[in-house]
Chain A
Amino acid sequence: MRLTVNGEQRDLHSPPLTSLLTALREELDITSPKAGCHQGGCGACTVLVDGEARRSCLVPLAAVDGATITTVEGLGAADDLSPVQAAFDEHYAAQCGFCTSGFIMAATALLDRTPKAGREEILAGLSGHVCRCTGYIKIVSAVEAAAKGDVHPEKVEPSFESEEAAVLIPGSPA
């Protein structure tokens, strides 16, 4: 099976009923989609499949042969964050961080289909995503700011040096 993942063509050899989540994490070492519940209940594994937010744990590889997949790794770089990523940083919308990738991908898809999403649309668009630190207020504030274009990626300071990132995040550029 061949997928385009974050702009690169990748051939996958996992069995066709493997979840996209497992294939991304274990075959391609793309670890931003988190394995929370493996049953669609938490939203931590959400990625974009042909631009639509999908729970990667509920998608069998066989169903996405030829598709284009985007994960957080494909959204921006440390010095070039996407508006949603920058808003999450600015509003301190990540606490432990486990749910963050899923929220960012869900919010990215929401703002793609509803660029001026209001609070109610944001709440509906993010429902299905669980933050066990219960940091929902900051998450919603971040997405509201991104929807209003009130983001300042240039002000975001990296939390750690790229050499540390290479240790902390396998596969990240040093």
Chain B
Amino acid sequence: MPATSLAEAQVIAPTSRAEAVETFGDGSSVTVLGGGTILMPELNYGRLRPERVLLLQNAGLSGIARNGNSLTIGAMTTVVELEQMPEPLGTAARHVADHEIRGQATLGGNLCAPAGGTTPRGDLQAALIALGAQVKTAGKGGERTEPIEDFLPAPADRLLLEVEFEEPQRSGYAAAHRPHAHAYTILAVCAAETSAGLRVGLSGAGPNGLRARSVEAALAGGASAEEASQKVLDDAQTHDDALASAWYRQRLLPILVQRALDDLGGGK
């Protein structure tokens, strides 16, 4: 039976990665609290009354490790620590909310948050899709590693452990923001070329970050950046929210794709 008051929730704070994985189990009836910036409003307003809350801050899941040109980032690494990461991830991180929130919000929260009803979430998702990131998660069936774009649509029953990507040869970023106390990202487009090729990621163009495979295919087939950018509407799942209408997003998105591709320096 779901808990009816905050006081009834059981809070578990594992002190190691192994303990976090074991406590998470198959994820049923567990609510993961990373930095708290997304979950706390839900608790404050009584929209969520979790049974068991997994508090990850001491679980040893934060930190950035470099091995050659490959980077591994723990799920509990804060967004402020990502500001100096290779582009386009650094720029995407600097666009998340404001300094205070970035000091608390985590990589894991940015990738695992359910779609926001009023504003898009997941500024980092487009960047990590473009970088061809692989995510390592735990849950039913044990640990597994998969491309981030496969993980993003249904993260709820997995515990994110870390994200790994290769530093790109070149990258591009373009976004539209709506000023508030801090600027919300309406749409963000990231492009990056790694040894695996050129990839394009979108944030704000669907319920989670999406990979713009149609754009990538058009570019691989020799299309110009302008031609290829029009294909993005085949990949997008544009929606209305408090920041912008689907109509507006459909008109803005190809322009941002072209700008991100132009930002690659020379384009392709």
Contact = CB atoms under 8 A, between A and B. Distances in A.
Contacts of A124: 98-99
B40 A59 contact: yes
Given A18-B6, A60-B33, A129-B181, A54 B100 contact: yes
A156 to B, nearest CB: 27
B43 A60 contact: yes
Interface in A26-71: 38-43, 46, 52-55, 57-60, 62-63
Contact of A42 (B37, B57, B181): B181
Interface residues of B, number: 28
A106 B44 CA distance: 22
A57 B100 CA distance: 12
B181 A15 contact: no
Contacts, number: 88
A15 B40 contact: no
A142 interface: no
Contacts of B7: 15
A4 to B, nearest CB: 18
Interface string B21-59: 000000000000101110011011100000001010100
Interface string B89-110: 0000000011111011000000
Contacts of B99: 53, 124-125, 127-128
Interface of A: 15-19, 22, 38-43, 46, 52-55, 57-60, 62-63, 106, 124-125, 127-130
